[in-house]
Amino acid sequence: MDLISALQFLRLNEIPKAWVDEVWDLEFTERKQLDDTIGEELVVIGDRNFKNLYQCLLAHAAEQQQSASRDGASQSVWAALGENGVSVKTLVAVLSLFVLAAKAKAANVQQRVSGLRAAALYLLLLGIPGSIANKVFHEVLLDTCSDITSQCWPQDSGKKRKKEGPKSSQTEGKRSKPQRKDTPEMEVDEEEEEDEELHFSGQDLMKIRDAVVYLVQSLLRLLQAFPLKDRPQSASNCTQIFSKLLSFEPIVGEATFAAIQDITKLRSIPEMAFYGLRLLCSPKHGDQKESLRRVFHRLLYVILMMNKNNRGKPSLLVPSQAVLSTRNQAISFVCHLVEELKELALPFLQILLQHICYQMVEKSEFRSHGAQAVGMLTSQMASQDYARFIKWLFNFSRHSKMVHRLFSVDVVMVLLEQPERNSEDCQDPELANFLQHKFLIQNLLFTRRMDDSPTVQGHALACLAQCLELPSFNVTRAVHNLFSATATQTVLESEITEESHSSQQTQKTYRTLPFRTVEISSTDSSSCDAKDNLALLLRRVKDSKTNVRKSALQALVGLLKHDVIPASWENLSTMSERCRDPAVSVKKKALQCLGELLAAKPECSVVQKAWLQGVVPAVVDSENSVQEKALEALDQVLLSRIKPYSAGRHMDASQSLTWALLDLLCQECQNLSRYFSRAFTIWSKQNMFTPTFITNLISHTEADHAAGAWLLLSKVVTSSSKLPYGKILDAWDNMIRSKDVPVTTCCHILCVMGDIAAHLNEDTKDRIVSDLMSWLKTFTLSLEVINTAVETLHQLGHSEDVKQTQAFLNQHCGELVSVCEAYLAAIILSEKGNENVNEELMIKHVHTLGVASLHCPAKVGKRTVLLVESVLTTQSDKVAELQGEIPASQPLSQFRANSLPTRVRAHGVITLGKLCLQHEELVQKYLPVFARELEVGTEVAVRNNVVVIMCDLCVRYTNIVDHYIPNISACLQDNEAVIREQTLIMLTNLLQEEFVKWKGSLFFRFMVALVDPVPAIASLCEYCLLHLLLKKNPEMFSQHFIECIFHFNSYDQHKSYNKFPQSERERVTFSLKGAQHREKRFRIYRFLLEHFTDAQRFNIVNKINQSVLACFADEELPLDADGAEILSETFKILSLKEMKLQAVSTPAGGPAEEEPEEENMANMAKAVLQAAQKKVVSQVQKKAFIENTVPLIIGLKSLLEQKRSPVLRDLMAYLQVTMQDYRNEVKEFFSGDEQLAAEVEFALKTAEREREMEQQMDNCSLEGDARTPTAQHSIHGSPIKSKPLLPFSFATPQPPRPNVLSARLAHTDRRAQRSRQEEGVQSKSIALEGTVMPKGVVNYRAISTPKGVNINLTFDEGLSAIFSDQGTSLGGETSVLHVRSNEQQAAGLRQWNVQSPLRQKRKPSKH
């Protein structure tokens, strides 16, 4: 078709010239309507007309280009238009009409298609030679036509067609949250959702898509022919447009990025976009460096899976398959550009990698993909460039922002998966060390174990464990070196340093941020000590943060599995202890790690023992899921592997492991028997023990590992209906005849015999009873076997008739009592019986007497009691004289020592206690004796057993023993640690079961145990109070707090407090009075206050006002020396930071650095709620302080001034602390005492000045002290005058960590106490030169405009060149962020002459 004919549908000749002029005058910024007739006709123009015109114009352009290259004789398009009277100006104006109509949000399908076709025609016209001369070019219209795709393609088409989107990933260790609707972006403005919805069919979308293809092809043809060298803004816009089109639709097949392609062969729009980006990097469109910078800038956000508009915060995209595919293609395109342009593109690859690191978010899925991107991109770098990046990454890993340090660990793990580079490939010897995997592990990964953030610590430790699974030998060897005795760490003393940005510079700001490299330098000369590394790892296993403990467990098990550290009990017991961790997730992790370790080292006995110590007690865990996991592990390892035994068949490794574990349970781990029995109780309800299992088990009773088989039989026999009783009776006969049966096996066989007694006939029972009695009367059995044998005897005699059962017991147990009584009488009544006593034999007689007496209390006479008493004291004369009735007169005051050994006397106490359990009159008689023994006894074993007996008696005779609880609790201050610990455990059990109440001095004695000189006892007491007792009585701490003040200071003049009875000895023993005990008292106060609720803190302040301050203000309590001590201590307590309400003192939302980014929305709502709560609570607290406290303070100040009391100093110190939050309202608070208000204001100002002075002295470099951080900011060429910045420290932040609540984590290291010299604190200066600031950028400050200290490294309009390691920049620019070390700082800096006013006061005045 002829070109002129193709133009007829636009009716250009009918367009008024005035309208055309007006459109050009508006510079195509607004749509100017035509008159009704022409406008309506143009609206209905079909798509076919635009296609015909496009093809015709394209043919003329191609023909013109061919003829121009051949002989130049062909007529140009412009000449043809002019000859036919077609105005180019009118044509452009009419095309703009369609383009601007399509930009409207309410545009229909036809308008959008026509707009896209018109835009394609304009771009095609613009690409024809002569377009500039014919005034076709207009920059605004060019940008509008190029970017019209974003307005015409429905942005929410995917959202309206999809109802469910892919699940977003969760950060490690976080619970999943309800999914939001799938949107192209995670953050969708509500305004967009509220727009009028336009629904497009699939056919409509295909029409628009075809028009977009024509538009993009026209833009590519334009870039091929039309240079943008002098139009950088248009080039930048094109870069942005192409980057958006990358995600327009998926690419079918493999994407190719060939340099020269036929545009019509590019089938997908993303492929066209990649080709367009490649065209923009050609020299014809300007400086290739600037072009590459722009392209890499836009691809950065594609790789990061973010949507970045011109301004504002980048929004995260849902990491769907389409987004990930686009990201992968963008990475491949960058690699293609680097491979093609080589040295020209490599510097910008460095910048791209830096910004990927700097702009990474905390979400685990994004970090994982980001690290993979860094790994793919670094593979394109030569060794020297790679080493420079690793050097930069090392410094980046010391950044003050937590997410940066976290991401550096991810990057290291990806780089470790790549083959290690050869150091010889690096020309610079100083950079060669950075190529080694050893450097990545020891200097980047392992140093993060000391990080201030628990999240980073945990992630680094988890990754350390993963390193051992990598196939690289060098990686494994590097980890071995960290924990081996001959380890040596790569230390680069001057080149490698620790970067430390000020935390003030890492606030989240989203302003115009230039694409600049970051040069960071500092010093770090930390050494690597294998023992210290292992010790630190073991401390991390007991860390206060849950995720750190879990990751440390994973690291520890990895080191043990790969023999990096020895499988010693010290290392393994730490892992077993974590199976009883307060956190459920840690318990499960510990169980999993122990299982992995046992599978890796099944033959190691220490590992077996650690597995049992960790898994078996978990079956009684309070959390059902932990119980189930432990039961599953026990079933898998112990029960499921039991096969029939055959002497000629060799057992495999799994069966050998099973019997080795059972043997341990019979020997070294007998203390786990109770937990093990609980597991079988649960299993029996599930009918897990089949006849086949029992048969298999009994087949092992004749093997070498018979002990384990009898152990299992003793547990399962009660839940099995059919048993081979013959084999069991044969084993019994063998045991009776044999003399070398182990004690535990004897006990288990006896248990089995007792359990099957109901199924035996009478003759068999009688035979067994006879054998059992004969065996017991030999008194050769161990104490454990005696206990079990007597219990079996009871089971053998059990019947439905209670009287018959008791008669059987009286007969047989009574016989044992008589035998024992006769033996004791022979020794005690004999004149020389005590001289040659057999200690072991006597202990067995005493023990048997106690065990048997519990089953036949009627056979225990007074003579028996007196004989047992005689074991403890010298009473043989009474026994000899009184063979009949023995009166209970003249009760003993104490057990007087006799010549019997201490062990015999200790067992005598236990037996006497068992006798008391059956006779209440004996309890009345011997309780005073027991109490006196606790007070004046000298034998540790005897007093320890007395504590056990008295607490056991308390369960049965609660009212009687209750009067002696003060005597028992006095043992909490016993000289022997074992008695203190035993007393603490026994009393805690009684308090839990409510046999004992918190009465009298009991609570305060527990408090004294909190400051026990033995840390283990103090830790145990803390655990008992917090995790066992406080849960039953949440008000316990607050109810006793005020009385603690009076009690521990031994002050009894108050009318209400410290009035409970106690002896003078107890008062002295538990007193913490005096300056020498002040630290202990305040440790107790802090412990109590830390576990107050805010309501309890608020109420305790009011109670202190009423009960303490008011009493002194009204002179109810004398202000003598003791009273002054109480008042002084009260003010110090009120000044404690633990006394402040958490709702007021804690920042809303908590520390932002530790919050996962994925919880931002929830945290934002929580922060708003906390802010409102804080405001309300603050107002209530303020009102209470004014109404209740201020009048008392004014009265007390007046009284203290009259008395000239030194307590006045403590009062003013309390006011200074309290009024910090109300420093501007002092006069309002103390309106009744202007002098006091003035004094408080003066004290506040003085304190503030002192703090500022201390801060300046800490931060300023005085006399060249290298340890004091300094900071100098020199700004060159800044368009705005810089403000002087206060010196600030660039050390890695160390926020205070909360104290550990659980006593089981008492040995967790406190980060708040960690020395700041742990990682070097270095100085830093920022030099920015020659920054190019386009018009309008000043409002969005870049790094070169130092208003404040916020530094956010992204790239936007203000772009700079790369700064090389040699200190020179490309293209003559030096716009970099450069951090200098102390040695590099410019000489001649003026030193601050700061001197403390305290020093000035000390100088003698000159007269």
496 token code pair: 């490698």
Rounded to 10 degrees, the C-alpha dihedral 1106/1108/1112/1115 comes to 70
Question: Residue 1017 has what pLDDT?
Answer: 93
Beta strands in 1164-1317 (DSSP E): 1271-1275
Question: Residue 1007 has what pLDDT?
Answer: 92
Question: Residue 978 has what pLDDT?
Answer: 93
373 token code pair: 């991107």
Contacts of 925 (CB under 8 A, 6+ apart): 888, 891
Q: With beta carbons less than 8 A apart as the criterion, state whether 234 and 294 touch.
A: no
Question: Among 191-200, 338-347, 599-608, whose mean pLDDT is lowest?
Answer: 191-200
Question: Residue 954 has what pLDDT?
Answer: 92
Counted residue by residue, the chain has a size of 1407
Vertex 226: Cα angle to 225 and 227 (nearest 5): 115
Mean pLDDT across 1133-1148: 74
Q: Assess whether pLDDT exceeds 80 at residue 1303.
A: no
Question: Among 409-423, 979-993, 1139-1153, 1242-1256, whose mean pLDDT is lowest?
Answer: 1139-1153
Question: Among 738-742, 754-758, 865-869, whose mean pLDDT is lowest?
Answer: 738-742
Mean pLDDT across 1402-1406: 43
Contacts of 726 (CB under 8 A, 6+ apart): none
CA distance 247 to 250: 7
pLDDT band at 892 (very low <50, low <70, confident <90, very high): low
pLDDT band at 832 (very low <50, low <70, confident <90, very high): low
Instruction: From 58, 169, 45, 150, select the one nearest 97 (Cα to Cα).
Output: 45
**Comparing 425 with 239, which gets the higher pLDDT?**
239
Mean pLDDT across 48-62: 77
Question: Residue 1172 has what pLDDT?
Answer: 67
Rounded to 10 degrees, the C-alpha dihedral 846/849/854/859 comes to -140
Q: With beta carbons less than 8 A apart as the criterion, state whether 1157 and 363 touch.
A: yes
Name, of 16-25, 236-245, 1021-1030, the range with top average pLDDT. Answer: 1021-1030
Beta strands 1271-1275 and 1324-1328 are parallel
1155 token code pair: 């919050």
CA atoms within 13 A on the CB side of 1104: 27
Question: Residue 1294 has what pLDDT?
Answer: 35
Question: Among 43-47, 909-913, 1385-1389, whose mean pLDDT is lowest?
Answer: 1385-1389
pLDDT band at 544 (very low <50, low <70, confident <90, very high): confident
Average predicted confidence (pLDDT) for the chain: 75
Name, of 93-102, 243-252, 347-356, 680-689, the range with top average pLDDT. Answer: 347-356
Interior/surface letters 766-779, b for 16+ CB within 10 angstroms, e for the rest: eebbebbbebbeeb
The DSSP string of 1295-1314 is PPPPPP--GGGTTPPPGGGS
Q: pLDDT tens for residues 605-627?
A: 999 999 999 999 999 888 899 99
Q: Assess whether pLDDT exceeds 60 at residue 845.
A: yes
pLDDT band at 831 (very low <50, low <70, confident <90, very high): low
Question: Residue 1348 has what pLDDT?
Answer: 37
pLDDT band at 280 (very low <50, low <70, confident <90, very high): confident
Q: With beta carbons less than 8 A apart as the criterion, state whether 285 and 291 touch.
A: yes
Q: Assess whether pLDDT exceeds 80 at residue 878.
A: no
CA distance 14 to 649: 107
Mean pLDDT across 514-533: 54
pLDDT band at 515 (very low <50, low <70, confident <90, very high): low
Q: pLDDT tens for residues 290-325?
A: 888 888 888 898 999 988 776 677 888 888 888 898
Question: Among 153-157, 670-674, 934-938, 1385-1389, whose mean pLDDT is lowest?
Answer: 1385-1389
pLDDT band at 1223 (very low <50, low <70, confident <90, very high): low
Instruction: From 1331, 1209, 1311, 1365, select the one nearest 544 (Cα to Cα).
Output: 1311
- What is the distance, to the nearest Å, from the Cα of residue 1178 to the centroid of all Cα atoms in its chain? 31
Question: Among 525-534, 681-690, 820-829, 832-841, whose mean pLDDT is lowest?
Answer: 525-534
Q: pLDDT tens for residues 467-503?
A: 888 887 888 888 888 887 544 333 333 333 333 333 3
Instruction: From 673, 665, 666, 724, select the one nearest 694 (Cα to Cα).
Output: 724
Q: Assess whether pLDDT exceeds 80 at residue 582.
A: yes
Question: Residue 190 has what pLDDT?
Answer: 40
Question: Among 474-478, 704-708, 1160-1164, 1201-1205, whose mean pLDDT is lowest?
Answer: 1160-1164
Question: Residue 143 has what pLDDT?
Answer: 81
Question: Residue 197 has what pLDDT?
Answer: 55
Question: Residue 473 has what pLDDT?
Answer: 82
If you search the block for the tokens 């790679």, which residue do you land on?
Answer: 386
Instruction: From 444, 472, 469, 449, select the one nearest 459 (Cα to Cα).
Output: 449
Question: Among 311-315, 836-840, 886-890, 1279-1283, whose mean pLDDT is lowest?
Answer: 1279-1283
Crossing angle of helices 673-685 and 706-716, in 10° steps, is 50
List phi, psi (to 5°) of 848: -60, -40
CA distance 697 to 644: 7
Question: Residue 913 has what pLDDT?
Answer: 92
Task: Identify the sign of the CA torsion 155, 159, 162, 166.
Answer: positive
CA distance 298 to 317: 15
CA distance 940 to 1282: 76
Q: Assess whether pLDDT exceeds 80 at residue 773.
A: yes
- Helix, strand, coil abundance in the chain, percent, nearest 5: 65, 0, 35
**Comparing 605 with 68, which gets the higher pLDDT?**
605
Mean pLDDT across 895-906: 77
Mean pLDDT across 1028-1040: 89
Q: Assess whether pLDDT exceeds 60 at residue 3.
A: yes
**Comparing 874 with 1053, which gets the higher pLDDT?**
1053
Q: Outline where 230-287 has alpha helix (H).
A: 232-245, 269-280
Question: What is the share, in percent, of the chain residues with pLDDT greater than 70?
Answer: 73
Q: With beta carbons less than 8 A apart as the criterion, state whether 888 and 921 touch.
A: yes
Mean pLDDT across 158-180: 40
605 token code pair: 């006995």
Q: Assess whether pLDDT exceeds 70 at residue 1349.
A: no
Mean pLDDT across 1005-1026: 92
List phi, psi (to 5°) of 1369: -115, 160
Question: Residue 652 has what pLDDT?
Answer: 78
**Comparing 1014 with 263, which gets the higher pLDDT?**
1014
Q: Assess whether pLDDT exceeds 60 at residue 1302.
A: no
Question: Residue 1363 has what pLDDT?
Answer: 36
pLDDT band at 1006 (very low <50, low <70, confident <90, very high): very high
pLDDT band at 174 (very low <50, low <70, confident <90, very high): very low
Name, of 2-6, 160-164, 1295-1299, the range with top average pLDDT. Answer: 2-6
Q: Assess whether pLDDT exceeds 90 at residue 983.
A: yes
